[in-house]
Amino acid sequence: MASSDPNNRPRPGPWPPAAESAAMPPTTWAKKTGFRPKFSGETNASDSGQIGIQQQSTRRRESDTNLDLEAGRVRPRQEKVNGETTGEKDKPPVRKRRDSDGGGVAKSTNGQAVGTTATAEPAAAATTAPAAQQPARRVSRNEEVLDVLPQIVDDDGFMSRHSHMKYELRDTPGLVPIGLYGFQHYLSILGSLILIPLVIVPAMGGNYEDTSNVVSTVLLMSGVTTLLHTSFGSRLPLIQGPSFVYLAPALAIINSPEFLALKGNKFKHIMKELQGALIISSAFQVILGYSGLMSVLVRLINPVVVAPTVAAVGLSFYSYGFPQIGTCLEIGAVQILLVIFFSLYLRKISVLGHRVFLIYAVPLGLAITWAVAFLLTAVGVYSYTGCDVNAPVSHIISDHCRENIPKMKHCRVDALHALGSAPWFRFPYPLQWGMPVFHWKMALVMCVVSIISSVDSVGSYHASSLLVASRPPTPGVLSRGIGLEGLCSLLAGLWGTGTGSSTLTENVHTIAVTKMGSRRAIELGACVLIVLSLIGKVGGFIASIPDVIVAGLLCFMWTMLTALGLSNLRYSEAGSSRNIIIVGLSLFLSLSIPAYFQQYGITPKSNLHVPSYFQPYVVASHGPIRTNFGGLNYILNTLFSLHMVIAFLVAVILDNTVPGSRQERGVYVWSDPETAKREPAVAKDYGLPFRVGKLFRWVKWVGL
């Protein structure tokens, strides 16, 4: 029986009574409150965009309350009739991109970006109630970016959407803009295209003529493979070229024990060995992609795996960088300082709307340092009486010459000699160095490296698709791209570039900085590369770059590669103790374990005929694994001395065995194949041209 005492009666609650609501799911509270962490996988994982998941959650989002927690008021509900939103008569007319699926940029009649589907609701919630009563005003550039981007964007343009891109994937603004932006894109990535031949050809005993011919071959293969990839691969605007992933194993093969004592034409013999290894490994990559195995392997590849693997590729060359620069410090130090000054201190300076110092930091630093070295050579600073730079070391008797010959080799710019040995026109042809030589031990090393190259490309596909495409590619498109990269490496092996062809990781940074994602611009630039490859003097001119300048540029390129690899962590929860331990352990062991293999069995007088910066790649002759099978010793000692292999093995095992949520791991979200087929924009982004896709409808695992 209830008590009649008024003091014991229950006090009435607030009026009107608050409606009971279900507990908010933990994965949506940040979206409701507007919280957007910079390093959390909440925003990034949701923005990486699987179409099927977004459509399944549409009904739940529509049933949620329209309360704007930031503004403290109820958001006006908009009714939809036949898929069109009513009540927007007060807004200015908006012209959307043709065939857009909502991921593109909506433009007003004056061409200014006004919003995207991903940010339409937050933008509407931030406006005041009577929008029609507010006077129209011109939106500044900074406000435009803040309106359209779904998350925080740094000054280099990294983001999860392409809303502020000048040109997106299928845009064709005209021949002149396409030509200018294509030239800009290739010029900014020049170092990645030309520097690898300048390292491996001298290491193989090649001269200026050999270096010139390999550079021309690399330019031809880069142009051809880029056209193939943008047409029949992933179809993303990604330049293909000699990858740094293949540089370390190529140097390991070059410094194999059986090649160190070779006499005569050492260059052609080693090049044929590299060709044979690349041809077999590229065939393995073709099978990996076109068989659909890559669609299975990609389930194990996440940002926590990609980040340390790619970073280890850049960190692995620390023994080559500054030891080479130290041979001519007055040139090499200036080279590094110029690139740092342009890319960091002058990065926000714009000329005609282009941040020229940030975009062209590498070519500007190269041009200035090259000119200084040329002038110093011309005035005789690096000329010493009685000393011949081309004379064998064993024939040099004078102590004066022995002391100054290294400076002459690394600092001088012998442009006339390099240009004189190069013909005006030369067409690189397949098997130009002779028939390839096949050895199974070298081929197996390259097969493992092709897997690392595929992991690198997975990260590049995902990051670039968020910048320029309507949605990330499907697993089938990803497999198709990896398979075509295998075909491109096969062509590189037949033509003899010395390294395999792959997607250049620096593409992502270049696209984000230049804000140019047009596929046509990349294709036009590829055609220009093919034309330049036929002019032999171009290769000869590039071959005259001094070794110390090459080392200075490579220090910056490897730094960028390391940073771009670690930037993949922005798709995961970088502050998670799980991820911190996995990434840190992967990086540390990737440096420590190879150091053990590289230093094992070395005596002070061993390998004196090999330069100090190539000592880590002679591990096959003195490694700790010594069984009765010489080939097995070569494979294991070489693989465990490669930093990227150790980083990949440690990261992929730990990331897939240590418990962690999908949000914490930042699992890559790819587009659903069945849903993507019904999206016109996705079909046009990734569909094969010339009705080729219809011929392969039965190949479900390499299409949309």
C-alpha closest to that of 247 among 529, 614, 559, 607: 614
Mean pLDDT, to the nearest integer, of 524-549?
90
Q: What angle do CA 502, 503, 506 make, to 5 degrees?
A: 130
pLDDT band at 397 (very low <50, low <70, confident <90, very high): low
pLDDT band at 100 (very low <50, low <70, confident <90, very high): very low
Mean pLDDT, to the nearest integer, of 97-106?
41
Token pair 């970073």 in the structure block, residue = 311
Mean pLDDT, to the nearest integer, of 296-320?
91
The strands making up 94-96's β-sheet, listed across from edge to edge, are: 94-96, 106-108, 113-115
C-alpha closest to that of 181 among 239, 255, 225, 137: 239
Phi, psi of 503 (to 5 degrees): -70, 130
The terminus-to-terminus CA distance of the chain in angstroms comes to: 70
Residue 305 has pLDDT above 90, yes or no: yes
Residue 4 has pLDDT above 90, yes or no: no
Residue 527 has pLDDT above 90, yes or no: yes
Helix, strand or coil for residue 25?
coil
Token pair 């056209």 in the structure block, residue = 227
Residue 14 has pLDDT above 70, yes or no: no
Q: What's the one-letter identity of residue 22? A: A
Q: What does the pLDDT read at residue 248? A: 92
What is the rounded distance in angstroms from the CA atom of residue 362 to the CA atom of residue 359? 8
Q: How many angstroms separate the most distant Cα atoms in the chain?
A: 119
pTM exceeding the 0.85 threshold for the entire prediction = no
- Give pLDDT tens digits for 634-692: 999 999 999 999 999 999 999 999 999 989 998 888 888 888 888 888 888 888 887 77
CA distances for 375 relative to 73, 334, 341, 367, 466, angstroms:
70, 15, 22, 12, 46
Q: What does the pLDDT read at residue 80? A: 41
Q: What does the pLDDT read at residue 11? A: 60
Across-strand partners of 68? Answer: 73
Mean pLDDT, to the nearest integer, of 598-619?
75
Whether 404 and 328 have beta carbons less than 8 Å apart is answered as no
Lowest mean pLDDT among 71-75, 167-171, 477-481: 71-75
Average confidence score pLDDT of the chain:
77
Q: What does the pLDDT read at residue 361? A: 87
